[in-house]
Amino acid sequence: MTHFAKRYHPAFIIVELVSTVKGLFGFYILLFLLKANSTAGWVIWGRYALLAATAVSVLSIFAKWLFNRYELSNKTILFREGMFVKKQKTVSWDRIHSHRSNTTFIHRWFGLTSLTMETGTSGENAQFEFPVITQREKVRILSYLEQKQNRDESKDGIKPERTVHFQATRKDLIKASFTSLSFLAIFPLLSAIYFNLADFFSIEESAESAGHYLLDHVWILIVLFLAAMILSIFIGFVKTYMEVWKLCH
């Protein structure tokens, strides 16, 4: 059977351009709007550097679409990348443990999607992505994976049982939520909310100093602290559960 290398859908260019614009948008606001009348040297050179970076990024996007290709066979997926320095990556269907799709609003405009194959390993070869493909192409790619799985299941005429190496208990998930320290991220947000409320209710006018106010209303801090702890632990538990569930499925 003959297999042909394919480029990604031309909308790949638009998806990458939007991503580039999002990344550089803040710099354009700073250098061309907020510093529009500035004659400082760093502003002028910053504008030239920003325009040069934008031009290089745009050319790089077109080069990626033109030279990056993939090829499907019954045993492997071959990715070809690079314009001057050629690079090839090969992943066998045996190594693929799971897959997921991500459809952004730009994908939806064109009726497209993206597909990521996950190998269950870490590092550079942890996942392989088809960033912009049609729904039909997605079905075609997954059909190769399904055929491989069906061949494995039919070797002995029975479906192989899945081996469970580890099953997390609720105690393990709670422990992981604490050890990840992710629940601490809510306290800077809580602090910002508190001081914004302080400004809104004019706390300075009702007490001689912020210190006196905190001492007089320490129960508010205790309630907020406990509420923040409960909320952050719950969020950490859900996040950890989802990560463990993804690894185990």
Per-residue model confidence as pLDDT tens digits over 38-49: 889 999 999 999
Count of CB atoms situated within 10 Å of the CB of 49 = 13
Tell me the backbone φ, ψ of residue 49, rounded to 5 degrees. -65, -40
How confident is the model at residue 11, as a pLDDT?
93
Q: Measure the CA–CA gap between 99 and 93, rounded to whole angstroms.
A: 12
Domain map of the chain by residue range? 6-67, 87-153, 170-248
**Distance between CA 65 and CA 9 in Å, rounded?**
8
pLDDT tier for residue 4 given thresholds of 50, 70 and 90: confident
Q: Taking each helix axis from N to C terminus, what angle separates 218-248 and 170-179, rounded to the nearest 10 degrees?
A: 120
How many CB atoms sit inside 10 A of residue 149's CB? 14
CA 159 – CA 137 distance, rounded (Å) = 28
Q: Are 115 and 127 in contact (CB under 8 A)?
A: no
Tokens linked to 40? 């400082």
Q: Side by side, which strands form the sheet with 112-118?
A: 98-102, 112-118, 127-134
| Mean pLDDT rounded to a whole number for the chain | 75
What pTM, to 2 d.p., does this model score?
0.57
For residue range 98-144, what is the model confidence (pLDDT) as tens digits? 899 988 888 988 899 999 999 877 777 788 999 999 999 999 999 98
